[in-house]
Chain A
């Protein structure tokens, strides 16, 4: 595999100012995505997945306290770009996103064909005719009949609406598509249909994906790589094969044991306890108080440890024999 690196993220931070204090939603996150690779970001509700996505696409709320780190898109240092340059050269054209619950945010009074054409017309300045032609092609790719171009959102089922917002992200043929929980609200057949579309587009167009979900089974439908987030940090990042079949972090292991298996008899186990408050983070390992393998050293903050090529884990259990032991 000699794929080029498309996106490289290093030490990304996004903090929100709130009345109670500063929430560290993305707290020193590093990973990369190769060309034509799909990275799945897993993690419990509130761990910072959507914040990570919004940071990459710079769609930020007003109460940002700190936004820093290094993000390279190909050879471009996109964190160094001005707002205007970022909007012109990156947003939608090179990185596009399907936001969480986007299918419910479609404009009810505008025909879906027009809505999907918007990125082409607004960001790329295309004529209406040229844009509609591309939209029709994208509809076919995502499995929506072109008869639907003229329909309004309420005339479509949930599954069709989700395909339409997917078309909106794909229509500019971006290099990276970020999908935030694209199928969580849909039933299993619709989910499987949409994952089929993503797989085909990845194969045919060489697009890279970052898919955010808390559903491990769905994630396995596209993942080449998996990053697991916990309390604002990536605690493990690995190839899908390693993550699903031999995860290294105790949290990853417990997460895998909590997946209900249709074809196996083992009862799924839940992970007791709650994640920490992002405004009042504990010192040391953030998972320690829920971790069955906790030991003295967990009072220190673990740095990412390299287990293999492109496999990193934030856990002292892997600090090598000499590093193991007591506090």
Chain B
């Protein structure tokens, strides 16, 4: 264990596990490889903290920056501005062994389960690789950990699975292998990016239940990314709603679902049907237009061009700060002013 890591753990024990401040991740867009056209502001001013053992969900439309945020938290993108502090240590300062420790502490379930597993490796090899990289040189110890984690994701008996290649597994089994790989290094936090969107409805619930159970048993911090609000109630304690690179609303799950404050969140909720034969006979309310370009985001509130409640002279002029319209419930909207 390195010096940075042990002192950081001592400092960080009582604070949040993860603290994110003023985080920006911009991608430079170039034409013909050199001409700078502008920046895609995928993450554009994000602040939040995650407590140990907490499960949270990041929700938002396609392209709003959820995966970019996840990858920045993991240290895969360098923030353009702001910082990610894990367990009291700035992730940007981590080098060598310490960066390796961080990678082992934060498990990643990446979007697209089908592309996530290398096709030419069997399951044993897929799960051994991270252990080897992180210095578990004993074959016996590796085998013990692999079997334990396969058992945990309910892929047992291990013998029936270990020698299989990804194409021999069903979508649900592949997704469990991806989760097992994220867990095998015994991380303290998991970031799961759309862990079920490619799966069948009946398998989805099974995988989500599995993640939630492991999260509770291991007392993991779980950040769960999705565009589907209907699943989050059962799998998260808190929700962050993202729009165009920013967090526009955050609250505990029940509070947010019962009293959505931001017009964007309200429209997301209104778009989701509770199964009812009557749905077929009415049009559902959907905000017009499309999410804004992250290359040239609109001035003021980014939702104002689609917002049914936009206040002329205000919303298109100034960026709304985070208000707290209800206790423990924040929303970045001028309606709360």
Contacts and interface: CB of A to CB of B under 8 A. Distances in A.
B268 interface: yes
A267 interface: yes
Contacts of A38: 280
A157 B280 contact: no
Interface in A242-264: 244-245, 255-256, 258-264
A42 B56 CA distance: 31
Contact of B275 (A192, A244, A267): A244
A265 B254 CA distance: 10
A269 B284 CA distance: 27
Interface string A15-48: 0000000000000000000000010000011000
A162 to B, nearest CB: 12
Interface string A195-209: 110011000000000
B274 to A, nearest CB: 5
Interface string B175-210: 000000000000000000000000011110110010
A327 interface: no
Nearest to B233: A262
Contact of A262 (B257, B281, B290): B257
Contacts of A186: 62
Interface residues of A, number: 50
B201 A216 contact: yes
Given A217-B273, A217-B275, A262 B230 contact: yes
Interface stretch (A91-99, A220-228, A300-308): A220-228
Contact of A264 (B203, B268, B274): B274
B201 A214 contact: yes
B283 interface: yes
Given A217-B275, A221-B273, A259-B275, A188 B227 contact: yes
B202 A262 contact: no
Using C-beta atoms within 8 Å of the partner chain, give the interface range for chain B.
35 or more
A276 interface: no
Contacts of B290: 157, 159-160
Nearest to B60: A187
Nearest to B61: A187
A192 B286 contact: yes
A300 to B, nearest CB: 26
Contacts of A258: 201-202, 205
A220 B230 contact: no
Contact of A188 (B229, B234, B276, B280): B229
A189 B206 contact: no
A191 interface: yes
A215 interface: yes
Q: Which of A157, A189, A192, A274 has the most CB of B within 10 A?
A: A189
Nearest to A224: B280
A34 to B, nearest CB: 14
A262 B227 contact: no
B45 interface: no
B277 interface: yes
Contacts of B201: 44, 214-216, 255, 258-259
A260 B230 contact: yes
Interface in B199-253: 200-203, 205-206, 209, 227-231, 233-234
Interface in A152-207: 157-160, 186-193, 195-196, 199-200
A206 B94 CA distance: 63
A270 B206 contact: yes
B271 interface: yes
Given A157-B290, A262-B229, A190 B62 contact: yes
Contacts of B230: 217, 260-262
Interface in B245-297: 257, 267-269, 271-277, 279-281, 283-284, 286-287, 290
Contacts of B170: 274
B200 A260 contact: no
A241 B278 CA distance: 8
A8 interface: no
B75 interface: no
B280 A240 contact: yes
Contacts of A223: 277, 280
Nearest to A158: B62
Given A241-B277, A268-B234, A270-B205, A196 B62 contact: no
A274 B173 CA distance: 11
A40 to B, nearest CB: 9
Contacts of A268: 205, 234
Contacts of B12: none
Contacts of B275: 216-217, 220, 244, 256, 259, 261
B187 to A, nearest CB: 25
Contacts of A259: 201, 275
A115 B170 CA distance: 35
A114 B276 CA distance: 39
B277 A189 contact: no
A270 B209 contact: yes
B230 to A, nearest CB: 4
A68 interface: no
Contacts of A267: 209, 234
22 contacts: A44-B201, A45-B200, A187-B61, A187-B228, A188-B61, A188-B227, A189-B61, A190-B61, A192-B271, A192-B286, A214-B202, A217-B273, A217-B274, A220-B275, A240-B280, A262-B233, A262-B257, A262-B272, A263-B257, A264-B274, A267-B234, A270-B202
**Across chains A and B, which 9 residue pairs bring their CB atoms closest together, nearest first?**
A270-B206, A192-B271, A187-B227, A240-B277, A241-B277, A262-B230, A270-B205, A45-B200, A268-B205
Given A158-B62, A259-B275, 6 more contacts: A192-B284, A224-B280, A240-B280, A245-B277, A260-B230, A262-B257
